[in-house]
Structure 1
Amino acid sequence: MKSILSFVVAAVLAFTIFSCSKTEVDSIDPNGTGGLTLEFDNYVGGTNMALGTAQYKNTAGESFTVTTFNYFVSNIELTKEDGTVVKVPNSYYLVREADPKSLNVALTGIPQANYAKVAFTIGVDSLKSQAPVTERTGALDTGSYGTDNMYWSWNSGYIFMKLEGISPASTISGKAFQYHIGGYGGGFQGAARTANNLRKITLSLGSTSAKVRAATTPTVHLIVDAAKALGGTNTISFATTPTVHSPALAKPIVDNYVNMFVVDHVHND
């Protein structure tokens, strides 16, 4: 009898502790903040991207290898379950497949809430693109990328996405292909205005919201399929279009890559 009573007491205590702990975790402080991480997981079709080694095929049936895959993510917005939009200030990040640290974008100072959507721009907006160089630091530092340079010094503009590689179908030297996508709709030193290739991506988090709390930093896991930049709305052939370096010629790829991003799942732990 004594053992049964002890078991009951222990069970009640455990339930009480669990309930209190759960309440603390789920409790939203209306004046509190927390963090949220965006994890960018780059793929080609149904395969995790491997630079320089793996062989893939585009929708034109041409085989290829990826050597460089970079893109800017900026002006991040989070939408609460009640529809309130929270804009993350000064949010500019360069995601590089060659740099594993860049694949996880850690946001801080996020108001505590349950978030149902995430939105961001692919590229760098016109105001920041034309801001004084002293205001363009971190990911926007125009001299910090070495061989992965993401800035056109000849046109004073950021490259929003860079996709490079090798394909037997290519007709240029070394069988290379190079897609450098930019253009924010502005001009430079009296030059004609470029095409506006900025695109905003808005994604639902699905049935699992991101619960930002003082003790909980959720991770939103995004799959980014580079193959969709080469096919979908428009089929890009390495044989006929091995390079794109001009904003005026980039629209077919831009119309494709807006569909590269999907939310795979959300971790709330």
Structure 2
Amino acid sequence: MKNLKKYLLVSVVLSALISCSKDDKDPVANNIILHFNNTFKSNTIVLGDAASTTATTNTSAEGQVHHFSELKYVISNIRLIKADGTEIPYNINDLDKGATVVNQAKTETLNYTLSNIPSGEYKQVKFGLGVKQEMNTLDQAKFPTFYATAGANETEMMWEWGAGYRFTKLEGFYDNDNKEMSIHTGSTVEGEEGAYTQGVDAYRDITLNLTSNAVVGRNVPKITIKADFDKLLSGKANTIRLTSGTGMNDNATPNIHTAVQMTKFVDNLGGDGSSDITGMFSIDNVEN
């Protein structure tokens, strides 16, 4: 009888240990949340119309006061780099599953969840500002979800001539008299309809080192990525003064500014791809 009691006790202890062992084991995969905080320097941006008294204002290196009424940009081609250097691509050839439009007017778009990420520690995140050349076509059949999101009336992230997606769309006002500021970037084409060739490639690849490793396992890490739109006019590459007009050097509205002028904004926001691979982006913090 005593032996039976000992046997039962051992069985219960072993069962408890096995149960605890199963509970303590890390899952093979979990999620990561990318949170985008759009700022002027350290101040999170509040949008507003020309007469707004609550919109976040900024003063450029050229002394121009400006604020935004609309702020949107496309993130795609996301890759996570493990502590050992292994690169984990995230649906990089699928705009429906691996791209998003960050829209400051829609809080839900500021958090983008990467699902089923292999457990482990990650030291770096890479992503594209815009859409890489080989995927920058308005393909409704192949990527219906992203096509619908980018083309929605409140989003409008497509060029009117149908040659690809807008990569950033910034509307607002500048100077004390609130002149219109409308800055759109994206890859361009040259030639005539039916025989277009690639013009400016406005896609930029961003590489950011995390402030501490993101640990994927039992918890879902949250990586806060700061996008500092002070860099729009006061960037590492260019100090830009906005001017409204019809000359080759005027730049405040998209129907006027040339591809040359647009590229200055692109290099400020996304870096030049060589000496600057961060552009306006940086890592605020990592929450494990």
Could you say which TM-score interval applies, normalised by the shorter chain?
0.7 to 0.9
Distance in 1, matches of 2:149 and 2:190, equals: 18
Query: 2:137 touches 2:165 (CA, 8 Å); kept in 1?
Result: no
Offset from partner CA, 1:65-122 (integer Å, 9 cap, x none):
2111100000100000000000001211100000000000001011111000000000
Distance in 1, matches of 2:43 and 2:253, equals: 24
Unaligned runs of 5+ in 2: 1-16, 49-54, 244-249, 271-278
Query: 1:40 touches 1:224 (CA, 8 Å); kept in 2?
Result: yes
Q: Return the letter of the residue paired with 2:30.
A: G
Distance in 1, matches of 2:126 and 2:115, equals: 16
1:134 aligned onto 2:137: no
1:238 to 242, 247, 253: 242
Distance in 2, matches of 1:142 and 1:152, equals: 14
Offset from partner CA, 1:118-146 (integer Å, 9 cap, x none):
00000012232236321122233276421
1:47 Cα offset (Å): 1.3
Q: Which moved more, 1:239-248 or 1:123-132?
A: 239-248
Specify whether residues 148 and 46 from structure 1 end up closer, same or farther in structure 2 by C-alpha distance, changes over 3 A only.
same
State the aligned residue count.
240
Query: 1:183 touches 1:247 (CA, 8 Å); kept in 2?
Result: no
1:184 Cα offset (Å): 6.3
Give the equivalent residue in structure 2 for 1:219: 222
1:185 Cα offset (Å): 6.7
1:194 to 180, 190, 199: 199
1:159 Cα offset (Å): 0.6
Offset from partner CA, 1:225-245 (integer Å, 9 cap, x none):
111121122112222421245
1:169 Cα offset (Å): 6.5
Distance in 1, matches of 2:188 and 2:125, equals: 22
Q: Return the letter of the residue paired with 1:140.
A: Y
1:42 Cα offset (Å): 0.6
Specify whether residues 186 and 122 from structure 1 end up closer, same or farther in structure 2 by C-alpha distance, changes over 3 A only.
farther
Greater relative contact order (Cα < 8 A, sep 6+): 1
1:85 aligned onto 2:105: no
1:183 Cα offset (Å): 0.2
Give the equivalent residue in structure 1 for 2:170: 163
Query: 2:102 touches 2:110 (CA, 8 Å); kept in 1?
Result: yes
Query: 1:182 touches 1:247 (CA, 8 Å); kept in 2?
Result: no
2:264 to 236, 244, 252: 252
Specify whether residues 133 and 247 from structure 1 end up closer, same or farther in structure 2 by C-alpha distance, changes over 3 A only.
farther
Query: 2:61 touches 2:239 (CA, 8 Å); kept in 1?
Result: yes
Offset from partner CA, 1:183-216 (integer Å, 9 cap, x none):
067876202422111110000003x211111x21
TM-score, normalization by structure 2: 0.76
Give the equivalent residue in structure 2 for 1:35: 31
Q: Which moved more, 1:248-257 or 1:36-45?
A: 248-257
Q: Which moved more, 1:235-244 or 1:215-224?
A: 235-244
1:205 aligned onto 2:205: no
Unaligned runs of 5+ in 1: 1-16
Distance in 2, matches of 1:36 and 1:143, equals: 23
Q: Return the letter of the residue paired with 1:262.
A: S
Q: Return the letter of the residue paired with 2:186.
A: G
1:97 to 81, 96, 104: 104
Query: 1:35 touches 1:108 (CA, 8 Å); kept in 2?
Result: yes
Give the equivalent residue in structure 2 for 1:56: 58
1:47 aligned onto 2:43: yes
Q: Which moved more, 1:242-251 or 1:218-227?
A: 242-251
Query: 2:70 touches 2:171 (CA, 8 Å); kept in 1?
Result: yes
Distance in 2, matches of 1:83 and 1:155, equals: 39
Q: Which moved more, 1:77-86 or 1:150-159?
A: 150-159
Query: 1:72 touches 1:123 (CA, 8 Å); kept in 2?
Result: yes
